[in-house]
Amino acid sequence: MTVTLPPFQALLDAHRAEVLRFLVALVGRQDAEDCFQETFLAALRAYPELRDAKNLRAWLLTIAHRKAMDNHRSRVRRPEPVEVVPERVIAPAPEPEPALWEAVRALPPRQRTAVVARYVGDLSYREVARIAGGTEEAARRNAADGLATLREAWER
Give the interface with another protein as residue ranges (CB under 8 A).
4-10, 12-13, 16-17, 19-21, 24-25, 33, 36-37, 40-41, 44-45, 47-48, 90-97, 100, 104, 115, 119-120, 122, 147, 150-151, 154-156
Nearer to another protein, 80 or 155 (CB): 155
Cα distances (angstroms) measured from residue 156 to each of 68, 79, 100, 111: 29, 34, 12, 21
Cβ atoms of residues 58 and 127 within 8 Å: yes
For residue 61, count other CB atoms closer than 10 A to its CB.
26
Omega of the bond leading into 92 within 30 degrees of 0 (cis): yes
Nearer to another protein, 6 or 133 (CB): 6
Nearer to another protein, 34 or 136 (CB): 34
Q: At closest approach, how far in Å is the CB of 79 from another protein?
A: 27
DSSP-derived secondary structure letter, 51: -
Q: At closest approach, how far in Å is the CB of 51 from another protein?
A: 12
Of 85, 71, 91, 142, nearest in space to 113 by CA:
142
Nearer to another protein, 4 or 78 (CB): 4
Q: At closest approach, how far in Å is the CB of 74 from another protein?
A: 18
Q: At closest approach, how far in Å is the CB of 85 from another protein?
A: 19
Which amino acid is residue 116, in one-letter code? V
